[in-house]
A and B are shown apart, each in its own frame.
Chain A
Amino acid sequence: EVQLVESGGGLVQPGRSLKLSCAASGFTYSNYVMAWVRQAPTKGLEWVASISTGGGNTYYRDSVKGRFTISRDNAKNTLYLQIDSLRSEDTATYYCAKQDLYDYYFDYWGQGVMVTVSS
């Protein structure tokens, strides 16, 4: 059974940093592209970033480029999202998602972790 378990969220002041983690199990983690998708309170879904199987290629939405860093540790079956210079508009639930290799849909999702940016 595929499992994705996020951690690392919380209440953070604007301008500070946070690192989210996602522990994966139930599939051959190193063979799959992984992604982060976020959802602001009462809003829709927004793709944030993706990372290739080996970690050498990363992709971001324009609004987070330069502040967000996606990475992975295939030895630990873990995905990360480093968020710097947090802004109020980053307040959201962040989901880790397994991405289909060819058609780029998200076939499994974690339960999500909440990030609240507030002073």
Chain B
Amino acid sequence: DIVLTQSPALAVSLGQRATISCRASQSVSISRYNLMHWYQQKPGQQPKLLIYRASNLASGIPARFSGSGSGTDFTLTINPVQADDIATYYCQQSRESPRTFGAGTKLELK
């Protein structure tokens, strides 16, 4: 299985930039397609798709969210961070089955 590694937590101040990383145990890219996706989950709620294929913003997601990366290293950036962004963020790969998720990065206020 492809293992995705995320830092457990990140503390950030409102209005600042947050950079959340995800590292895969092997490449999740096929040709020009980077099969890494990002989700946001707030306490007591279901996950919500933010970014698909590494850098594509999902429908209805604010432009302060962006994604980048290829191969094994990917980044979710939130700039500027707003109070509503306090949540846990998960990466997920779809290069191989089983589709695996990272353990999540909890975004906290500094």
Contacts and interface: CB of A to CB of B under 8 A. Distances in A.
Interface stretch (A7-15, A68-76, A80-88, A106-114): A106-114
A105 B49 contact: yes
Interface of B: 33, 35, 37, 39, 41, 45-49, 52-53, 58, 90, 92, 94, 97-104
Contact of B46 (A46, A59, A95, A100): A95
26 contacts: A37-B47, A44-B102, A44-B104, A45-B39, A45-B41, A45-B47, A45-B92, A45-B104, A47-B98, A47-B99, A47-B100, A59-B97, A62-B98, A95-B47, A103-B33, A103-B37, A104-B94, A105-B49, A105-B52, A106-B39, A106-B92, A107-B52, A108-B49, A109-B47, A110-B46, A111-B45
B92 A105 contact: yes
Nearest to A110: B46
B21 to A, nearest CB: 16
A61 interface: yes
Interface residues of A, number: 20
Contacts, number: 55
Contacts of A105: 37, 49, 52-53, 92, 94
At the interface, is chain B mostly helix, strand, loop or mixed? loop
Given A103-B94, A104-B94, A105-B37, A45 B101 contact: yes
Contacts of A106: 37, 39, 47, 49, 92
Interface string A34-70: 0001000000111100000000000101100000000
Contacts of B99: 47, 104
Which of A46, A61, A103 has the largest count of B CB atoms less than 10 A from its CB? A103
Nearest to A4: B46
